[in-house]
Amino acid sequence: MDTFKASKLGLSKIQQARKDSGRKRDDSEWLVAASKILCPDSDWAPGGPYAEGCSESTWRRFLTGYSVAIPAFKAFCQVLGFDWREIADRPDADLEDLSDGQYIDWDSCPEVTVFYDRTLELTQMSEWICEENCRLIAILGMGGIGKTTLAIQLAKQLKYRFEIVIWRSLQYAPPPDKFLSNLIKSIPNSLVEKQLLNTLESNIVRLIELCNYHRCLVIIDGLESLFSKNDLAGKYRPGYEDYAKLFYQIGASIHKSCFVITSHEKPREIVKLEGHKRPVRCLKISGLQKRAARQLLQEQGLVEEPEWELLIQRYRGNPLALKIVSDTILELFNGKSSEFLQQNTIFVGQLSEFLDMQFERISELEKKLLYRIATAESPVTISQMREKISPAVSHSQILEVLESLARRSLIEKITEKNSDSAPVMFTLQPVVMKYIVNQFKHIFQ
């Protein structure tokens, strides 16, 4: 028989609710109430017998976090005032494995078969969504860092909290009005008028109305495809500016849904809305933690060695970079990272294709600044940058460019510990540094 058990959080909720009720654990009224839910047409009385699947021992199992047959589990949750979805522990359930009128539109979402760690990120976002009712969350980070994978895992974990879960990719940059009308049509609802209106603004209002009627989780992946080339970060391409209106309204209007977007760059409308006490948040992700990165290298088939630490550090735990470099290590060095590292070079290889896409969008001044940081012997301060670049470039221009590079997750900030007076310095990840020197030396040397 199929069973459910409570998650860790679910169990603490169950125990708290039982205590708050002021009733004893073995009060037979619990079982009478659950029996009424399971079989409403019969009369049930304290002392039993109770409905099928309902007994003192099942109730005790439920209260202590052991698995219980699904109908009884759902009835017990209801008796304590919970929706079973917020209590059950079913992390591996498939997205399509849903019941009770839930609707999932998974569209072209990639399948995630292997997932390591990211516990902190998932806990943080769950809290924002479930406890603090955030309406818009941006997962930000450089290419290959794991944004899409994390967003999928989040949807898997939280799907029971929502009536509707929708996944959309922006990889092929759909025009904003088409994207919006597709989204409106995807939300099943017979009560809110779904006839599309003439203006984008009125359709945004309609979407918000639907999102207030149903609790939806909408994941929108790959926002960077909408941003301009050769410009500062987070600026929409001509013809795509209406996306800013859409995301602004999603973040600013009252509704009960949550939109999670992934992007290399922080969109400007989000800069206006975000705040740790506001319903719009950003989560900038970095590479995998050491343990997860080791698991990934092991899965790739590398021979386990103490040198892994150095490899992980060089590629900053970026899972895509580690996968690509593992492939080279397997091909050329029989899986031995030590021999690869002895070459004493930062290998960019196939990664340059991914970096090309990201660098296509950055402005000339950003490239110039990056080149100066990449060719400096050590991390540089803002004043040193200005000297290196040209005195004709003003201080505020440098700040604007640095801010843009930070929004693209392309620079690393170094602050000396225990020193309030030391100036902030900037550097680049080794692989980005190598790429920039290779690509731009003929232009800026």
Q: By the criterion CB under 6 A, which residues form the site for ligand ATP?
A: 114-118, 141, 143-149, 222, 264, 288, 296, 319-320, 323, 354
Output 159 or 408, the one with its CB closest to ligand ATP. Answer: 408
3-state secondary structure of 150: helix
Min dist CB 146 to Mg ion, Å, is 8
264 binds, among ligand ATP, Mg ion, none (CB under 5 to 8 A by kind): ligand ATP
Is the CB of 147 or the CB of 368 nearer to ligand ATP?
147
Identify what 319 binds: ligand ATP, Mg ion, none; CB under 5 to 8 Å per kind. Answer: ligand ATP
For residues 390 and 375, is the Cβ–Cβ distance under 8 A? no
Query: In the complex with ligand ATP, which residue's Cβ is closer, 184 or 282?
Result: 282
Closest distance of CB 193 from Mg ion, Å: 35
Residue 90: strand, helix, or coil: coil
Distance CA 168, CA 248 (A): 18
Q: To the nearest whole angstrom, how small is the minimum distance from the Cβ of residue 144 to ligand ATP?
A: 5
| Count of CB atoms situated within 10 Å of the CB of 425 | 19
Q: Comparing C-alpha atoms, which of 235, 217, 204, 106 is closest to residue 161? A: 217
Name which of ligand ATP, Mg ion, none residue 156 binds, using a CB cut-off of 5 to 8 Å depending on partner kind.
none
Residue nearest to Mg ion (CB): 148
Instruction: In angstroms, give the least distance from the CB of 170 to ligand ATP.
Output: 10
- Of the candidates 41, 10, 44, the residue with the CA atom closest to the CA atom of residue 30: 44
Closest distance to ligand ATP from the beta carbon of 4 (Å): 26
Comparing CB distances to ligand ATP, the nearer of 147 and 255 is 147
- What kind and span of H or E run contains 326? helix 319-333
Binds 5: which of ligand ATP, Mg ion, none (CB < 5-8 Å by kind): none
**Residue number, 73 or 243, with CB nearest to ligand ATP:** 243
Residue 330: alpha-carbon gap to chain centroid: 31
| Binding residues vs Mg ion (CB under 5 A) | 148
> How many degrees, rounded to 5, is the angle at CA 81 between CA 102 and CA 156?
35
Angle at 409 between CA 377 and CA 405, to 5 degrees: 70
145 binds, among ligand ATP, Mg ion, none (CB under 5 to 8 A by kind): ligand ATP
Euclidean distance between CA atoms 334 and 79, whole angstroms: 59
Residue number with CB closer to ligand ATP (10 or 143): 143
- Which partner, Mg ion, ligand ATP, none, binds residue 296 by CB below 5 to 8 Å per kind? ligand ATP
Q: Count other C-beta atoms under 10 Å from residue 176's C-beta.
A: 21
Q: Are strands 380-381 and 425-427 parallel, antiparallel or unpaired?
A: antiparallel
Q: Which is nearer to ligand ATP, 184 or 293 (CB)?
A: 293
Nearest approach, Cβ of 227 to ligand ATP (angstroms)?
13
The CA–CA distances, whole Å, from 425 to 19, 359, 379, 422 equal 53, 22, 6, 9
DSSP code of residue 129: I
Q: What's the CA gap between 280 and 270, in Å, rounded?
A: 7
Q: Closest approach of Cβ 59 to Mg ion, in Å?
A: 45
Residue 323's binding partner out of ligand ATP, Mg ion, none, with CB under 5 to 8 Å set by partner kind: ligand ATP
Establish whether the linkage from the previous residue to 49 is cis, with ω within 30° of 0: yes
Could you tell me the two tokens for 53? 């699947």
In the complex, minimum distance from the CB of residue 204 to ligand ATP, in angstroms, rounded to a whole number: 26
Query: Whose Cβ is closer to ligand ATP: residue 143's or residue 176's?
Result: 143
Among candidate residues 348, 414, 338, 408, the one with its CA nearest the CA of residue 376: 414
Q: Which is nearer to ligand ATP, 53 or 141 (CB)?
A: 141
Question: Of 148 and 409, which CB lies nearer to Mg ion in the complex structure?
Answer: 148
Q: How far is the CB of 118 from ligand ATP (least distance, A)?
A: 5
What residue 220 binds from ligand ATP, Mg ion, none (CB within 5 to 8 A, per partner kind)? none
Closest to 88 (Cα-Cα) out of 110, 66, 113, 60: 66
Closest distance to ligand ATP from the beta carbon of 330 (Å):
16
- What values do phi and psi take at 53, rounded to 5? 90, -5
Residue 210 has which token pair? 């639907």
β-strand 412-414 against 425-427: which pairing, if any? antiparallel
